[in-house]
Amino acid sequence: MSQLTETQYHQLVDDILLEIEQTLEQLEDEIDIDYENFGGKLDIEFADGSKIIINKQEPLLQLWVATKFNGYHFNYQNGVWIDERFGDEFWHFMNQAASKQAGSDIKFK
């Protein structure tokens, strides 16, 4: 189980959402992507209409990600967010998932 406090959890997730938004802003001229962040939930919409939705799951101190292919639950472990089923690190996962849905190479971090 995570040793995060709720305050730490919110700060970590808010930092991730901000990092993603900043990267998407830089890519707007190159790739057709829309996004909206509200209440700890970030919706990213790609040119084909598919979405990636990232949201806080505060009661579990998790970060949830829904793609057009599946849903993923990330736990904070040893300084990184790790998917509980497949063991993938969050940024690695996001680079692959967003690139696949965008049909172009996307690098968040």
Q: What is the pLDDT of residues 25-44, one digit of tens each?
A: 999 888 889 999 998 899 99
Please, what's the b/e burial string for 64-93 (b: 16 or more CB within 10 A of its CB; e: otherwise)? ebebeeeebebbbeeeebbbeeeebebbeb
Question: What percent of the chain is modeled with pLDDT above 70?
Answer: 98
Band (pLDDT 50/70/90 cuts) for residue 2 is: very low
**Token duo for residue 19:** 């990092």
pTM of the predicted structure, to 2 decimals: 0.91
Which pLDDT belongs to residue 29? 83
CATH architecture group of domain 6-101: 2-Layer Sandwich (3.30)
- Which residue shows structure tokens 């690139």? 99
Q: Which of 42, 7, 40 is nearest to 21 (CA)?
A: 42
pLDDT digits (tens, 9 = 90+) for 39-76: 889 999 999 999 999 999 999 999 999 999 999 999 99
Report how far residue 23's alpha carbon sits from residue 109's, in angstroms, rounded to the nearest whole number: 9
Which pLDDT belongs to residue 39? 86
- Supply φ then ψ for residue 20, to 5 degrees: -65, -45
Which pLDDT belongs to residue 3? 79
Report how far residue 76's alpha carbon sits from residue 56's, in angstroms, rounded to the nearest whole number: 12
